[in-house]
Amino acid sequence: MTPTEKQLIRSTWAAVEPIQDVASDLFYARLFELDPRLAALFAETDMRRQGRMLMQTLAIVVKSLDDLSVVVPAVEALGRRHVGYGVQPEDYATVGGALLWTLEQGLGDAFTPDVRAAWAGAYGIVSSVMIAAAEQVEIEASAA
């Protein structure tokens, strides 16, 4: 990621942080609208707590933009856990769409094409690490 992309993410995240509860509610509503099947994965979930965990995860990623390798082990672990929840590789694109839509709603005019590209790039990095870790779990399970 370029320094400009990192700065765009940091500055826009600063605007999202004060509205985290609203943002997480918007995110999950949009996620379930985009793919109602995903709502079943959260049937037994405390969604307020889930929303806080999502926002905490995003905050950690934003704070680690200068050295994403610091968060790779945690992101890999998250990807491995998501296998057990029933998350499929194609679900990550839906999550990315919901994330970008949520940011657009929360940021309004500040959600420029450059901001969108920066966030999409960061999400692409994180989701690719999660998908790779999930695929490794499946490879190990089929070999066992």
According to the model, what pLDDT value does residue 59 have? 95
According to the model, what pLDDT value does residue 18 have? 95
Domain extent for 133: 3-143
Q: What is the mean pLDDT of residues 3-12?
A: 97
Q: Cα 103 from chain centroid?
A: 11
The model's pTM is 0.92
Q: Is the pLDDT of residue 143 over 80?
A: no
CB-hemisphere CA count at 13 Å for 87? 24
According to the model, what pLDDT value does residue 144 have? 65
pLDDT digits (tens, 9 = 90+) for 73-131: 999 999 999 988 889 999 999 999 999 999 999 999 999 999 999 999 999 999 999 99
Residues 6 or more apart whose Cβ sits within 8 Å of residue 82: 130, 134
pLDDT digits (tens, 9 = 90+) for 53-76: 999 999 999 999 999 889 999 999
Q: How far from 73 is each of 14, 17, 98, CA to CA, in Å? A: 25, 24, 24
Which domain CATH number covers 16? 1.10.490.10
According to the model, what pLDDT value does residue 97 have? 98
Helices (H), the chain: 3-16, 20-34, 47-63, 72-85, 91-107, 113-143
According to the model, what pLDDT value does residue 138 have? 74
According to the model, what pLDDT value does residue 29 have? 97
> Among 26, 46, 7, 9, which Cα is nearest to 106's?
26
How many other C-beta atoms can be found within 10 angstroms of the C-beta atom of residue 73? 11
Confidence at 37, pLDDT banded by 50, 70, 90 = very high
According to the model, what pLDDT value does residue 139 have? 76
Looking at the 3D structure of the chain, how many domains does it have?
1
Amino acid identity of residue 106, one-letter, is G
Residues 6 or more apart whose Cβ sits within 8 Å of residue 91: 35, 38
